[in-house]
Structures are given as C-alpha cells and as structure tokens.
C-alpha cells in the first residue's frame, strides 16, 4: 500500500509545525503540500503576488517520516482548515499525518498522548485540486545581510506600521535606518547600529536604499513567534529575503520569504 506517514512527538517541533499553518492564513487559504523522499516542502504566493514563502522541513526533522510512494506527492488543501485542526491539539499531544494514495481525496490527522487526561483526536480532511506552477528561485548574492532577534524586529515593524504603508530602508557600513511616514500620522525612524546586531555584512563602501510594503512585512514578522532569530538579506531593486531557522542555524529546516520592493516612480 502506497502511503505517507509523518509523526512529530517532540513537543517543541509540534508547536512550530502548528505555528507554520497558524500564520499561513495571512498569505493564502489554499496550499499544496509536497512530500518528497527527503523532505516536506511548501511554496506559495500571497494574494497580492508581492511575497513568496517556502517551507523546508527535511525528513530528519520529523520523529518519523515514511514516504512509501514512488514519486513526489503533492496534495492540495485549505490551510485555514488545517490550522483549525491543529488548533485543537492539546499541549503534550503528538501529531500524526497520513495519506493513502488509494484514498486520494482525504488527509488524516491524529493527536495522541500517553497522558490519560488528554483525549486522542482523529480528523479526516478533504483535499482539493490546486493548479499552481512551482517557481524556480535562483540563488543570489546579497549586497547586505544581518541577523537579529526576530521578536525585536517584529516589534519595530509593528510600530512602524502605525505611521505609514511603506518602510524605507537605508543600510550602510555603520547603521541600518528604518523609516515610515504619512501625512496623517507623521514620521517614525529607527536607527539600528551595526554593533547592536548579532551578525552583519555589506559590500564594502555600499549604501543601499530600498522601500517595501509594511503590511506584507508585518505579516512575515508574525513568524517571529516560532523562531528566535531571523536573517534579512538586502539588495537594491531585488526582493528582500528573510530566513527563519527552525532548527540549527544554517541547517535545512527553515522558512524563507521573498518580499518584492516598491518601485520608485521618480
């Protein structure tokens, strides 16, 4: 029988897995889950087509990852419904997800625990056909990148969002300046000194100036709740790239976001 069976008993990872889908509704309701032999993968784009996100979870990240189908398996589902299911999980319960190729219209999700005060739960979820072409994103060298505690960056972005729709970023060898302004609310600026960052690099002698949508960046920052650190890659006239590590820094378990820059009409 050709099946896929994944299991998460590590409670910290179970919280991360649930969190991935909790905030996905900010971007899209419909997603394809791609089960490959060596990893679990998601790629999608928000409704405004301004941002792309990818989820990379290698097989070894799971406590059990069995891929018994002789090909990559793609199943479409409503991400909001999957989060509703994951939202009923009690802390202390394991997560099991099963797919049977002979029952192609259903995904099975179970929550179990050896704790007798936690009741086991079983779910059947209907699948949907999603016509979505995968995008090939070539690797690029960034002009600047920095690592920062994700909660700190999310807090700053949330505050800047109160003062405008766009964030203007100026980045050089000494500091990163973040600015938002509007006629109604005025102007807010935040200066992050380089020595206040965990890591920082920039092309020698460079000064970068970029603008991005604060609403979209604010949505990306929602994931600060499931990863302590984030890495931001900047290059003028290219999308901002943000990485949340879901395991070892530099490892294969990660969330990656690409946010298109705002175009200056001047």
Question: Helix, strand, coil: what percent of the chain each, to 5?
Answer: 20, 45, 35
Average pLDDT of the chain to the nearest whole number:
93
Q: pLDDT band for 134, please (50, 70, 90 cuts).
A: confident
Residue 168 β-bridge partners: 179, 211
Query: What's the mean pLDDT in 26-41?
Result: 94
Predicted local distance difference test score (pLDDT) of residue 1: 56
CB–CB of 230/241 below 8 Å? no
Q: Is the pLDDT of residue 25 over 90?
A: no
Q: Could you tell me what percent of the chain has a pLDDT over 70?
A: 98
- The pLDDT confidence band at residue 150, using thresholds 50, 70 and 90, is very high
Q: What distances in angstroms separate CA 30 from CA 4, 79, 217, one per listed residue? A: 21, 6, 20
Class of domain 3-126: alpha beta
Tell me the sheet residues that pair with 241. Answer: 233, 258
Domain locations along the chain: 3-126, 144-259
Say whether pLDDT at 176 is over 90. yes
What does the pLDDT read at residue 136?
80
Residue 108, Cβ neighbours under 10 Å: how many?
A: 16
Q: Return left, alpha or beta for 170; rule: phi > 0 is left, psi -120 to 50 is alpha, else beta.
A: beta
Mapped onto helix, strand or coil, the DSSP state of residue 67 is strand
pLDDT tens-digit series, residues 224-240: 999 999 999 999 999 99
Instruction: Indicate if the pLDDT at residue 266 is higher than 60.
Output: no
Average pLDDT for 140-150: 94
Strands laid side by side in the 106-112 sheet: 64-67, 3-8, 94-100, 106-112, 121-126
- pLDDT recorded at residue 149: 95
Q: Running DSSP on this structure, what letter comes out for residue 49?
A: S
Q: Cα–Cα–Cα angle for 155, 21, 59, nearest 5°?
A: 110
The domain made up of 144-259 has a fold known as: Proliferating Cell Nuclear Antigen (3.70.10)
The pLDDT of 53-60, averaged and rounded, is: 97
Residue for token pair 């690029």? 140
Mean local confidence (pLDDT), 39-47: 92
pLDDT above 70 for 55 = yes
pLDDT score for 109: 97
Q: What pTM, to 2 d.p., does this model score? A: 0.93
pLDDT at 204 over 90: yes
The 8 Å CB, 24+ separation contacts for 229-233 are 229/147, 229/148, 229/149, 229/150, 229/198, 230/147, 230/148, 230/149, 230/150, 230/153, 231/145, 231/146, 231/147, 231/199, 232/145, 232/146, 232/147, 232/148, 232/153, 233/142, 233/144, 233/145
Q: What mean pLDDT is predicted for residues 67-81?
A: 91
Q: Which two tokens stand for residue 71?
A: 């090909």
Residue 65 confidence class, pLDDT cut points 50, 70, 90: very high
By the 8 A CB rule, do 255 and 16 touch? no
């Amino acid at each position: 029988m050709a099946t896929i069976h994944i299991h998460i008993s590590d409670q910290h990872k179970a919280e991360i897995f649930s969190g991935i889908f909790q905030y996905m509704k900010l971007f899209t309701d419909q997603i394809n889950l791609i089960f490959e032999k060596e990893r679990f993968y998601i790629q999608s784009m928000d409704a405004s087509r301004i941002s792309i996100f990818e989820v990379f979870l290698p097989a070894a990240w799971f406590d059990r990852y069995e891929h018994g189908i002789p090909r990559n398996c793609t199943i479409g589902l409503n991400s909001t419904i999957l989060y509703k299911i994951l939202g009923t999980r009690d802390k202390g319960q394991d997560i099991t997800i099963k797919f049977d190729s002979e029952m192609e219209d259903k995904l099975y999700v179970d929550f179990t625990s050896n704790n007798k005060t936690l009741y086991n739960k079983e779910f059947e979820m209907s699948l949907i056909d999603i016509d979505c072409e995968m995008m090939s994103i070539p690797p690029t060298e960034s002009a600047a990148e920095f690592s920062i505690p994700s909660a700190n960056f999310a807090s700053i972005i949330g505050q800047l969002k109160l003062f405008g729709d766009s964030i203007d970023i100026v980045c050089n060898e000494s500091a990163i300046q973040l600015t938002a302004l509007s006629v109604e609310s005025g102007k807010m600026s935040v200066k992050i000194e380089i020595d206040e960052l965990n890591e920082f690099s920039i092309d020698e002698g460079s000064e970068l100036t970029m603008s991005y949508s604060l609403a979209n960046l604010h949505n990306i920052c929602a994931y600060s709740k499931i990863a302590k650190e984030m890495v931001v890659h900047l290059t003028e006239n290219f999308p901002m790239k943000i990485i949340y590590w879901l395991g070892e820094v530099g490892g294969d378990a990660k969330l990656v976001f690409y946010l298109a820059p705002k175009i200056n009409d001047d």
